[in-house]
Amino acid sequence: MQFAAREDVRAPIETVFRAVADFDGWERAALRRGAEISRTDSLTRHGTGMSWDAKFTFHNRPRTANVVLEKFDAPRQVRINAVSTGIDVTFVVELVSLSRERTRMDVFTELKPTTISSRLLLQPLKLARTKLSNRFRQRIASFAGSIEDSCS
């Protein structure tokens, strides 16, 4: 199952990349939503190899995931892979500078079930694919808007 969104942001590529790569902010957002996040690497700077363990509730069941920053190509791309029980999730953000003050942000997420039970878990999501795709695009648009607001 895949989701994709494209947004043009009125901000320099460095500003957009800083917002995308604000891993401390993403950790705080997950904590506010009830997840438990713990950093598992010993890196002192942002970069490939950063990793986290996450505990959260999905479909009323406790889940765990191991999250790894697979690619950190500033200021062009961030790729994150999360492995949970039965589901692999890849999250990619690619940035392209359109001008000094405009950046195209392509966001791609793919969920791959690895077991029969995880296929069944994703089946209701496939049935609601259009609604979920629209919500995904709206959230990316909202994120782009927040970046633009922070630049103003």
> How far apart are alpha carbons 85 and 69 in whole angstroms?
18
Task: Report the domain count for the chain.
Answer: 1
Q: Which residue has the higher pLDDT, 79 or 120?
A: 79
State the pairing for strand pair 61-73/51-58: antiparallel
What per-residue confidence (pLDDT) applies to 58?
81
Q: What is the pLDDT of residues 83-132, one digit of tens each?
A: 998 899 999 999 999 999 999 999 999 999 999 988 988 898 888 999 99
In degrees and rounded to multiples of 5, residue 40 shows phi and psi of: -115, 0
Q: Where are the beta strands (DSSP E) in the chain?
A: 2-9, 36-39, 51-58, 61-73, 77-84, 87-99, 102-113
Q: What is the pLDDT of residues 8-32, one digit of tens each?
A: 999 999 999 999 999 999 999 999 9
Print the domain residue range for 143. 2-151
CATH of the domain at 56: 3.30.530.20
Predicted confidence (pLDDT) at residue 41 exceeds the cutoff of 80:
yes
Whether the full predicted model's pTM is greater than 0.85, yes or no, is yes
